[in-house]
Amino acid sequence: MREVDKSTTTTVTVYVNGNPVQALRGAMLAATLLNTGQVCRTSESGEPRTALCGMGICFECRATVDGLPHQRTCQIECREGMTVHTQQ
């Protein structure tokens, strides 16, 4: 178990559609995308969608992460240099 203490928390930079975004180390990628106001994907009929269930069930928060498509961003912790492309 590793609990992140506020005093030792550091930030990492992730790249959302090419733009650098600061995130707490260990923060969930879905949370970071919401903090930037970025939707994750566009639905079959063209609706913008963001995280819904927060626990890896609904797949609404999927995006392309480090080149891999359809990754559930609610199950991925932000790492330094991570690239994210939202799915249109």
Stretch that binds another protein, among 12-20, 36-44, 80-88 (CB under 8 A): 36-44
Rounded to an integer, what is the distance from CA 6 to the centroid of its chain? 21
Closer of 70 and 81 to another protein (Cβ): 70
Name the minimum Å distance from CB 61 to another protein: 9
Q: Which two tokens stand for residue 43?
A: 């639905």
Rounded to an integer, what is the distance from CA 4 to the centroid of its chain? 19
| Number of other CB atoms surrounding residue 48 within 10 Å | 12
Site residues for another protein per CB under 8 A: 1-7, 9, 23-24, 26-28, 30-32, 34-35, 39, 43-45, 47-60, 62, 68, 70-71, 74-78
